[in-house]
């Protein structure tokens, strides 16, 4: 399917070797950097000549060795830092108001200082499309975000920025409403098919349908071009924060809640947990695409599903998802699910490619978020995952193709629900968050990409923190660095409840345990987090290469529990932490 679309894969950065190669090619890089800055000052972006120069420079960064199974331990400093997992905290959704003003600057400053004193490495912020480009097409106002970024810099924290091309409001945990730009909504008023649409005709105004990614419906621009222009303006206007390496990650919004998925389970549409959700492909653009695809496959009679139920149905109550003879297992069902999931994969690849072109040469990591849809995981159909666009079944891995796609952009996969345990879920929903996390993280690591994670819901208890710790280092700490280690964890979210004394004391212990009892480390290179100029995505690989990764494999083994528990507290807990740290240092 879609074999004419050219894509690519990339080899994961070997950070230590790459650092050495970067130092060896410093003269070339400096020359390129001077030319790049000259272009930026004149609002000119890379010509073909400069792209060729950058590609040539990137060739020098290609690692000469295969990816090792374990991170390479630092060659200096304390070797226990190889177990260090940085912790970031999400800022409030409405930290910048709808009228583009930084809210409660002094109060936020005090909280940021408390986070810094607790050892937190940085913060994450949504950079809302609906705020920055609210006044009209390509009329960007970054003033409030510059004020915020300056404050974060003053507090000596790092910054993860989300390019939020979605609405805030309508999803679990949304406490404020920040719509898409009004001029986008006006276009949608006259052409509602720019939005995702359910079979019953409900329009989801959370984000634009991927069906119009490449259609010039927005004053001559396509959706992909709008996303690219927004990120390009961000780069130009935040150049000083990029050069200073305040900004370390750019998480690219790919759908509702910023996640690479369809808006299949929106609370604004009446969905309640654990409903299976609904397919979102009934706008005229996706309907036409499916019709054309079916004709090419010699099945023009096949249509979009009509028996997949409603938002709050169970799998067994529908003809499509039921375990005995459900449509999902028929040729027609497989045909639809392959199309539905592949369209999502192509969408993610195109937007990530735009981000790669925009931030080429910047010392940042790109990232993409994947949703942790754990309900109905222990059923044959995995209904809630299928409606979201994750074609994941027993024997078929729906997540590893996403990891393969991200590998071509050398991007981080950011996964949610790290805090959840099976026994905490309602039995009738047949949830399995622990197995889901193992599957997704293992598949990403096997594709040699970095993996980060988040908690899906606010939690302040030791059990949740311990589960995050376990998933951050699935086999525990090791003197030479763990075989498996998350690149970072972002905690949801900064709020008054987190800052309450008891909750914050537990949180501080959690941060220390994430740092392997080493305390805050201001230099990421000491825990093998080297940041090098972003390379151009690899090219000339069709989508079929991504889909080759659908064969399910057993995940890596996980320990039963973390070896860095936050349960112990007070003086006894402190003494036990010291003893454990000394014991670990003595490992051979």
- b/e 120-155 (16+ beta carbons within 10 angstroms → b): bbbbbbbbbbbbbbbeebeebebebbeebbebbbeb
Among 476, 486, 450, 502, which residue's Cα sits nearest to residue 562?
A: 476
Which among 425, 445, 446 has a CA at the least distance from the CA of 434?
425
What is d(CA 135, CA 156) in angstroms, rounded to the nearest whole number?
Answer: 32
Residues whose CB is less than 8 angstroms from the CB of residue 12 and which lie 6 or more positions away in sequence, other chains included: 67, 407, 410, 447, 448, 449, 450
Alpha-helical (H) ranges within 217-283 are 223-237, 239-243
- Residue in 15, 206, 419, 454 annotated catalytic: 454
Whether 385 is catalytic is: no
Confirm whether residue 563 is marked as ligand binding.
no
Q: Long-range contacts of range 347-350, CB-CB < 8 Å, 24 or more positions apart?
A: 347/210, 347/213, 347/254, 347/255, 347/260, 348/254, 348/260, 348/402, 348/405, 348/406, 349/7, 349/405, 349/408, 349/409, 349/543, 349/546, 350/213, 350/214, 350/224
Establish whether 485 is an annotated binding residue. no
Q: How far apart are CA 316 and CA 293, in angstroms?
A: 29
Catalytic residue among 15, 133, 206, 259: 259
Note the Cα 427 to chain centre separation in Å.
29
Q: Establish whether 49 is an annotated binding residue.
A: no
Do residues 280 and 198 touch, judged by C-beta distance below 8 A?
yes
What is the torsional sign of CA 388, 389, 390, 394?
positive
Q: Is 369 annotated to bind ligand?
A: yes
| H-run or E-run covering 249 | strand 247-252
Half-sphere exposure of 25 (CA within 13 A, CB side): 21
Contact predicate 461/506, CB 8 Å = yes
Element (H, E) at 205: strand 203-208
Say if residue 493 carries a ligand binding annotation.
Answer: yes
DSSP 379: S
Active-site residue flag, 272 = no
Judge whether 461 is annotated as a binding position.
no
96 forms bridges with which residues in the sheet? 102
What's the rounded Cα separation, in Å, for the pair 480 and 512? 19
Determine whether the annotation assigns residue 416 to a binding site. yes
| Positions marked catalytic | 259, 454
Give the residue ranges of the annotated binding site for substrate: 126, 166, 174, 369, 374, 416, 455-456, 493
Give the residue ranges of the annotated binding site: 126, 166, 174, 369, 374, 416, 455-456, 493
């Amino acid at each position: 399917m879609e074999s004419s679309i050219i894509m690519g894969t990339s080899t994961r950065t070997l950070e230590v070797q790459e650092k050495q190669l970067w130092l060896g090619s410093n003269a070339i890089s400096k020359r390129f950097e001077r030319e790049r800055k000259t272009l930026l000052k004149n609002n000119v972006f890379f010509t073909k000549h400069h792209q060729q120069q950058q590609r040539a420079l990137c060739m020098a960064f290609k690692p000469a060795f295969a990816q090792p199974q374990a991170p390479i331990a630092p060659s200096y400093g304390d070797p226990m830092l190889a177990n260090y997992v940085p912790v970031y905290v999400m800022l409030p959704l409405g930290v910048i108001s709808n009228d583009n003003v930084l809210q409660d600057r002094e109060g936020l400053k005090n909280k940021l200082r408390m986070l810094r004193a607790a050892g937190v490495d940085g913060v994450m912020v949504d950079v809302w499309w609906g705020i920055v480009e609210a006044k009209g097409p390509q009329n960007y106002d970054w003033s409030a975000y510059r004020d915020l970024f300056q404050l974060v810099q003053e507090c000596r924290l790092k910054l993860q920025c989300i390019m939020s091309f979605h609405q805030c409001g309508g999803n679990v945990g949304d406490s404020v409403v920040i719509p898409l730009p009004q001029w986008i909504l006006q276009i949608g008023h006259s052409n509602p098919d720019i939005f995702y649409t359910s079979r019953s005709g409900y329009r989801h105004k959370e984000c634009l349908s991927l069906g119009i990614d490449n259609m010039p419906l927005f004053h001559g621009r396509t959706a992909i071009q709008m996303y690219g222009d927004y990120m390009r303006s961000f780069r130009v206007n935040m150049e000083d924060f990029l050069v200073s390496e305040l900004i370390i990650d750019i998480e690219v919004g790919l759908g509702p809640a910023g996640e690479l998925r369809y808006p299949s389970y929106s609370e604004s549409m009446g969905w309640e947990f654990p409903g299976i959700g609904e397919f979102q492909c009934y706008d005229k653009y996706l309907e036409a695409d499916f019709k054309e695809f079916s004709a090419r496959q010699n099945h023009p009679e096949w249509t979009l599903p009509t028996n997949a139920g409603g938002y709050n149905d169970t799998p067994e109550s529908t003809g499509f998802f039921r375990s005995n003879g459900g449509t999902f297992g028929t040729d027609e069902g497989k045909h639809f699910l392959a199309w539905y999931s592949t369209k999502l994969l192509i969408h993610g690849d195109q937007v990530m490619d735009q981000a790669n072109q925009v931030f080429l040469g910047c010392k940042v990591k790109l990232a993409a978020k994947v949703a942790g849809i754990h309900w109905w995981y222990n059923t044959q159909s995995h209904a809630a995952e299928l409606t979201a666009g994750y074609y994941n079944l027993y024997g078929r891995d729906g997540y590893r193709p996403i990891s393969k796609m991200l590998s071509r952009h050398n991007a981080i996969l950011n996964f949610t629900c790290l805090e959840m345990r099976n026994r905490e879920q309602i039995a009738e929903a047949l949830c399995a968050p622990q197995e889901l996390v193992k599957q997704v993280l293992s598949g990403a690591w096997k594709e040699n990409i970095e993996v980060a994670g988040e908690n899906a819901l606010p939690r302040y208890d030791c059990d949740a923190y311990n589960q995050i710790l376990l998933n951050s280092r699935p086999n525990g700490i090791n003197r030479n660095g763990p075989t498996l280690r998350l690149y970072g964890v972002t905690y949801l979210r900064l709020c008054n409840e987190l800052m309450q004394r008891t909750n914050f004391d537990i949180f501080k212990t959690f941060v220390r345990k994430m740092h392997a009892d080493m305390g805050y480390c201001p230099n990421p290179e000491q825990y093998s987090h080297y940041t090098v100029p972003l390379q151009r995505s690899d090219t000339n690989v069709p989508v079929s290469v991504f889909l080759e990764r659908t064969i399910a494999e057993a995940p890596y083994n996980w320990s039963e529990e973390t070896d860095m528990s936050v349960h112990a507290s007070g003086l006894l807990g402190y003494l036990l932490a010291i003893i454990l740290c000394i014991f670990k240092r003595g490992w051979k």
